């Protein structure tokens, strides 16, 4: 066994990044390393249950009422849902900028607490999976890792459409107007955060011709997870500390058996999930459930945090939260919001997708899945019933696509992405030197 090191994970307070880091952390823990998670107080105990140490922090003042994990963002998304009906260029001012501002406010609020945690743990490596910088991490003497668990359009390039635009790679006519609106809606906020980062020892942020960065690149190690077959062509290669991982799909925490009443029925098996945040739009979820209830297919529904408000049909089974990694291998098709974890996991298991994006990088994932031929992108609020049903039937009948995705899945599964990520992080923790090659 390698020398025992202390490795700290600091994922964003959402299930996707947390689960992604937990999969990698489990490999490192099995190798004998001390693995500690910095998590929001609302997640207290959730990582301890998986065998990790926790250090708790807050991104804002405590609420008057007790929280459930991720409750802040659940409420935020639910209350902002009307904005998701707008074109992405209009979402910039109404949703994207306020979301970045909320994240920035959290980074400022938690700065003293993060400094305390880092000083106490004296880690050999810190692994951060966030979309804004936390200067308490960047300014430390300890080597740190950046994980990008969003769509890699976050990494700007002349050949990649602006992040959160959902625009086609081959049609750049709308890019300049979008980038100008980014400047109008994000400019002052970015300048304020850049000054905060500089004042707290993290160094300056960058704003290039294809948009602003709110997160620093690590001088030590940078990772992103996206299937090679769907990744973007780039005019400018990423730097030597960047490493592409096809997937970091975690092992299932538990098994899941198909309920008997579904096992006895004919028809394809479909998995419906809009993520823990997207499913807070109960009206949208119920429309999808009612439509799929009229088909001859069987459906597994991840109902999300407001599960008691969503009524299922006889051809369905579901619950508020389901063990997605255990379910995806058994289904024939995935209907998803386009969250990066679900998209990558669907590729990992060779499942075609119908993508109904709501916000953030979901629109970029939806566009990429569609333009690379691995599924269909539909208008989340504007699709016609027959349009969704036709897309489902076409994808299920596409034997060439099924063979293509099976080959992608076989290659991705043979790559053991969580092991490779753990190898790279362990190498940094052992040497303290930039990890290249």
Mean pLDDT of 197-219: 97
Q: Which residue in 340, 391, 351 sits closest to 374, CA to CA? A: 351
Model-level pTM greater than 0.85?
yes
Alpha carbon of residue 21 to chain centroid: 11
Return the bridge partners of 301, or none: 272, 318
Residue 47 reports pLDDT greater than 60: yes
The 10s digit of each residue's pLDDT in 221-263 is 999 999 999 999 999 999 999 999 988 877 767 788 999 999 9
Q: How many CB atoms are closer than 10 A to CB 258? A: 16
Mean pLDDT of 2-31: 90
Asked if 303 contacts 310 with a C-beta cutoff of 8 angstroms, the reply is yes
Mean pLDDT of 103-116: 96
Alpha carbon of residue 62 to chain centroid: 26
pLDDT at 68: 63
pLDDT at 74: 65
Q: How far apart are the C-alpha atoms of 125 and 172, rounded to whole Å?
A: 40
Q: What angle do CA 174, 92, 214 make, to 5 degrees?
A: 105
Beta strands across the sheet bearing 144-148: 53-57, 34-40, 6-11, 125-129, 144-148, 221-225, 242-245
Q: Residue 219 to residues 145, 197, 432, 435: CA-CA distances in angstroms?
A: 8, 16, 11, 9
Alpha carbon of residue 301 to chain centroid: 19
HEC profile of 11-39 = ECCCHHHHHHHHHHHHHHHHCCCEEEEEE
The 10s digit of each residue's pLDDT in 149-184 is 899 999 999 999 999 999 999 999 999 999 999 999
Q: In the numeric block, which tokens belong to residue 426?
A: 């362990």
The single-letter DSSP state of residue 78 is H
pLDDT at 248: 81
Q: Give the helix/strand (H/E) hosting 189.
A: helix 175-199
Q: In the numeric block, which tokens belong to residue 161?
A: 């459409």
The 10s digit of each residue's pLDDT in 249-305 is 777 677 889 999 999 889 999 999 998 778 888 889 999 999 999 999 999 999 988
Helix-helix angle 282-292:385-397, to 10 degrees: 60
Asked if 133 contacts 110 with a C-beta cutoff of 8 angstroms, the reply is no
Q: How far apart are the C-alpha atoms of 273 and 16, rounded to whole Å?
A: 13
Asked if 166 contacts 363 with a C-beta cutoff of 8 angstroms, the reply is yes
Residue predicted with more confidence, 80 or 403:
403
pLDDT at 164: 97
Domain ranges (residues) in the chain: 6-250+416-431, 260-414
pLDDT at 72: 62
Fold agreement between 6-250+416-431 and 260-414? yes
Percentage of the chain surpassing pLDDT 90? Answer: 78
Helix-helix angle 15-30:340-348, to 10 degrees: 50
Q: In the numeric block, which tokens belong to residue 119?
A: 């000083």
Mean residue pLDDT of the chain comes to 92
pLDDT at 430: 97
The 10s digit of each residue's pLDDT in 386-400 is 999 999 999 999 999
Q: Which CATH superfamily is domain 6-250+416-431 in?
A: Glycogen Phosphorylase B; (3.40.50.2000)
Task: Name the CA radius of gyration of the chain, rounded.
Answer: 21
pLDDT at 154: 95
What's domain 260-414's architecture?
3-Layer(aba) Sandwich (3.40)
Asked if 111 contacts 136 with a C-beta cutoff of 8 angstroms, the reply is yes
């Amino acid at each position: 066994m390698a020398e025992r090191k202390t490795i700290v994970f600091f994922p964003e307070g959402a299930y996707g990044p947390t689960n992604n880091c937990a999969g990698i952390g489990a490999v490192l823990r099995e190798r004998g390393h001390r693995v500690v998670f910095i998590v929001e107080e609302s997640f207290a105990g959730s990582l301890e249950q998986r065998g990790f140490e926790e250090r708790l922090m807050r991104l804002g003042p405590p609420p008057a009422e007790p929280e459930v994990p991720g409750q802040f963002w659940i409420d935020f998304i639910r209350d902002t849902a009307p904005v998701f009906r707008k074109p992405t260029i209009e979402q910039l001012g109404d949703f994207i900028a306020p979301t970045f501002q909320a994240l920035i406010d959290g980074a400022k609020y938690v700065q003293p607490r993060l400094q305390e945690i880092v000083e106490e743990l004296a880690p050999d490596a810190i692994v951060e999976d966030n979309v804004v910088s936390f200067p308490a991490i960047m300014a430390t003497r300890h080597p740190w890792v950046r994980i990008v668990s969003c769509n890699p359009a976050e990494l700007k390039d002349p050949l990649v459409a602006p992040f959160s635009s959902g625009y086609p790679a081959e049609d750049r006519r709308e890019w300049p107007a979008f980038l100008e609106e980014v400047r109008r809606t994000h400019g002052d906020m970015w300048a304020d955060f850049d000054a905060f980062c500089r004042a707290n020892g993290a160094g300056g942020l960058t704003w290039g011709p294809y948009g602003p960065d709110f997160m620093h690149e690590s001088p030590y190690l940078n990772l992103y997870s996206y299937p090679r077959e769907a990744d973007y062509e780039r005019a400018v290669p990423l730097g030597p500390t960047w490493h592409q991982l096809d997937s970091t799909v975690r092992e299932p925490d538990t098994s899941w058996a198909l309920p008997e009443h579904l096992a006895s029925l004919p028809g394809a098996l479909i998995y419906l999930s809009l993520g823990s945040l997207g499913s807070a739009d109960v009206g949208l979820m119920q429309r999808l459930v009612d439509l799929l209830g009229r088909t001859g297919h069987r459906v597994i529904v991840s109902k999300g945090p407001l599960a008691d408000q969503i009524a299922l049909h006889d051809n369905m089974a579901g619950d508020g939260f389901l063990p997605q990694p255990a379910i995806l291998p058994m289904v024939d098709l995935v209907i998803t919001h386009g969250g990066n974890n679900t998209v990558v996991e669907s590729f990992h298991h060779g499942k075609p997708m119908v993508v109904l994006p709501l916000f953030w990088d979901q629109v970029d994932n939806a566009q990429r899945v569609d333009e690379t031929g691995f599924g269909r992108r539909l208008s989340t609020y504007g699709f016609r019933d027959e349009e969704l049903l036709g897309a489902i039937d076409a994808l299920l009948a596409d034997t060439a696509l099924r063979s293509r995705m099976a080959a992608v899945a076989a290659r991705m599964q043979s790559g053991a992405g969580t092991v490779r990520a753990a190898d790279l992080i362990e190498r940094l923790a052992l040497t303290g030197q930039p990890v290249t090659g």
